[in-house]
Amino acid sequence: MDCRVELSAEERLYLTLKGLYEGFGYSPFRMRRFEEYSLYAENLNFLRSRDVITFGSREGRLLALKPDVTLSIVKNCAGEAGLKKAYYRESVYRPGADGQFREINQIGLECVGGADGYAELEVLTLAAESLKAVGGDCAMEVSHMGALRAAAAAFGRERLPEEVLGCIRALNLHDLPAVCRACGMEGAEKKLAPLFERGGSAQKIALLGESFGCGEVCRGLEAALRALKNAGVRAEVDFSLVNDTDYYNGVVFQGYVKSYPRAVLSGGRYDSLVKKFGSGGGGIGFALYPDELDLYLGKNKEFDADVLVIYKAGDPPEKVFDFVSELRGKGNGVYAAVQPPANMRFRRIVKI
């Protein structure tokens, strides 16, 4: 039977990305809906939210509806030698902006174990291509976790205090002096603030090198920018992009499309996480969140079906079905009923 269906924006996007990822040798990764809660309890800082839906199994184990995919893939790769390239389309369960738990669809890929410079270039390129596949004007921001680590080291700390990071994430440079003072880092804002002021990427990288002397970080950022620009995406360095320092150690990035008010893609290099699970080498990956994009990009269908067929209650079912099949054979979508349904629209109405 001919089955003509109109794909949703999310379905079309997934098919495009599936072709893109498989073309670079990534394999689909299907995981269970549940994970042992201990996986998340031991890595709470890696999660976007610490709220996790848990329940007891029949054997008394504490399970969780997975709030994240990367942890499961990295755990799956634990102890395996060599590089594993996987992509996925999975649901995760975590609180939305309103604090209520939601099922969130996520498409992404991970390159785990021995992720080298080439793997980084490949993942950044695929992230840029994924963003372009969403459609419309798009832009990416890129940072490096080594930048803030170097800044913290310059002030004799292992990491910057959370209050200072709060100002950095919000580009709140007016409160930064008082916050630095309260955290025992009086005057630190003089070296920190210029990194977050508006300016070109080259200027920011040069400033980072001059102020904190981290050449490798600067070279990593330059390479990331080159990869994104070669992939045809506008990209800028933005040091206000801060991920968790326990897990992310290298380049981190986010992607935006003009029609959507939040980042739709985020990712980064997480060698520290991979090492924690005992795998060799590093890891890098990203995820795209197409669910809400559908709200913004999806078009409302003008009609629910092409033809509404109205038949009488006493009509023989076979006769009605033959009539519907004939219309279907001509490529129409058909809705057959005795009464016109409420709140539905049709291109035309045919009475038998």
Residue 338 DSSP code: S
Burial of 131 (0-12, 13-18, 19+ CB in 10 A): buried
- Which of these segments, 77-85, 213-221, 225-233, 261-269, binds other proteins (CB under 8 A)? 261-269
Task: Tell me the per-residue interface mask from 219 to 238 with other proteins, x by CB under 8 A, - otherwise.
Answer: -----------------x--
Q: Is residue 256 part of the contact set for other proteins (CB under 8 A)?
A: yes
Length of the chain: 352
Give me the helices (H) in the chain, please. Answer: 9-23, 37-41, 70-77, 117-134, 145-154, 162-169, 176-182, 189-192, 201-212, 215-230, 271-276, 290-297, 317-329
Q: Is residue 271 part of the contact set for other proteins (CB under 8 A)?
A: no
Question: CB of 45: closest distance to other proteins in angstroms?
Answer: 18
Question: CB of 229: closest distance to other proteins in angstroms?
Answer: 15
With CB under 8 A as the contact rule, the residue among 263, 310, 320, 327 that binds other proteins is 263
In contact, 133 and 16? CB cutoff 8 Å: yes
With CB under 8 A as the contact rule, the residue among 28, 79, 261, 298 that binds other proteins is 261
- Which of these segments, 76-84, 87-95, 257-265, 313-321, binds other proteins (CB under 8 A)? 257-265
Residues numbered 139 to 198 that lie near other proteins (CB under 8 A) are: 139, 141, 170-172, 174-175, 198
CB proximity list for 152: less than 8 A, separation 6 or greater:
158, 159, 160
Q: Which is nearer to other proteins, 166 or 280 (CB)?
A: 166
Q: Which is nearer to other proteins, 99 or 331 (CB)?
A: 99
Which H or E element spans position 269?
strand 265-269
Q: Which is nearer to other proteins, 154 or 165 (CB)?
A: 165
- Which of these segments, 41-49, 54-62, 252-260, 298-306, binds other proteins (CB under 8 A)? 252-260
Task: Tell me the per-residue interface mask from 195 to 214 with other proteins, x by CB under 8 A, - otherwise.
Answer: ---x----------------
Question: CB of 177: closest distance to other proteins in angstroms?
Answer: 11
Q: Which is nearer to other proteins, 295 or 313 (CB)?
A: 295
With CB under 8 A as the contact rule, the residue among 262, 345, 347, 348 that binds other proteins is 262
Quick one: tokens of 114? 């021995």
Let me know the angle formed at the C-alpha of 108 by 106 and 114, rounded to the nearest 5 degrees. Answer: 145
Question: CB of 174: closest distance to other proteins in angstroms?
Answer: 4
Q: Is 226 helix (H, G, I), strand (E, B) or coil?
A: helix
- Which of these segments, 17-25, 88-96, 105-113, 133-141, binds other proteins (CB under 8 A)? 133-141
Report the candidate in 250, 254, 289 with the shortest Cα–Cα distance to residue 273.
250
Question: CB of 135: closest distance to other proteins in angstroms?
Answer: 15
Q: Which is nearer to other proteins, 175 or 271 (CB)?
A: 175
Number of residues that bind other proteins (CB under 8 A): 18
Q: Are strands 305-310 and 334-337 parallel, antiparallel or unpaired?
A: parallel
CA distances to 143, 335, 352 from 322, rounded to whole Å, are 62, 13, 11
Residue with tokens 């990071």: 165
DSSP 163-224: HHHHHHHTT--SSHHHHHHHTT-TTTHHHHGGGGSS--HHHHHHHHHHHH--HHHHHHHHHH
Quick one: tokens of 189? 């804002």
Torsion on CA atoms 17, 20, 25, 30, rounded to nearest 10: 10
With CB under 8 A as the contact rule, the residue among 1, 3, 5, 97 that binds other proteins is 97
Residues that bind other proteins in the complex, under the rule CB under 8 A = 97, 137, 139, 141, 170-172, 174-175, 198, 236, 240, 256, 258, 260-263
